Amino acid sequence: MYEQTVAPAPRPWYRQAWPWFLIALPASAVLGGIATIILAVQSPNAMVVDDYYKEGLAINRQIHRQDVARTLMLTGLLRSDGRQLSLELTSPSPLDDERVTLQFIHATRARLDREVVMQRRSDGRYYAALPELAPGAWNLRLQGHDGRWEISGRLASGGSFQTHLDNGH
């Protein structure tokens, strides 16, 4: 006699792997698009410049100030104990600046930028209170009170630090 074999009942589609694989591809694209839209709305690009002409003029002025600092052979050593800033400027030519302006420029977020005016004391060093700095990388820009020269440096924020400033970081 003949024996009849009964084929097993096919599994429903949702219990098979290939439909879920085919669904996962477009679903991941949709989720990535939603995440991109959320990021774009929550953090607008602050790196875009509206007026390129003015930016170009500012860059030319900055280059001129750096050239003056190079001529003066001006360098600086900036120190902090976590509360106070101390700056020692070195140059063969005597400097007559009673105060200098130090800018802390955040590497990615302009709203975190800080500016400090440092006063010279009798020991020849400049002092000011350390502003509150968010964690991250900072560009430093130091200018004389008349804006004639400029030196710069970099800093990774932390409690106490020491960094060199010059005209070619």
Q: For 119-159, what is each residue's pLDDT tens digit?
A: 999 999 999 999 988 888 899 999 998 888 999 999 887 67
Q: Has residue 47 got a pLDDT over 70?
A: no
pTM: predicted TM-score of the whole model, two decimal places: 0.67
Domain membership of residue 92 (yes or no) is yes
For the chain, what percent of residues have pLDDT higher than 70?
Answer: 93
pLDDT at residue 45 in the model: 64
Domain with 79 in it: 74-165
pLDDT at 11 over 60: yes
Residue 6 to residues 10, 12, 52, 63: CA-CA distances in angstroms? 12, 18, 78, 87
Kindly report the CATH number assigned to the domain that includes residue 87. Answer: 2.60.40.10
Residue 155 lies in a domain: yes
Does the residue 61 lie in any domain? no
Confidence of residue 37 (pLDDT cuts 50, 70, 90): very high
* Domain annotation covers residue 46: no
How many distinct structural domains can be found in the chain? Answer: 1
Rounded to an integer, the average pLDDT of 77-81 is: 92
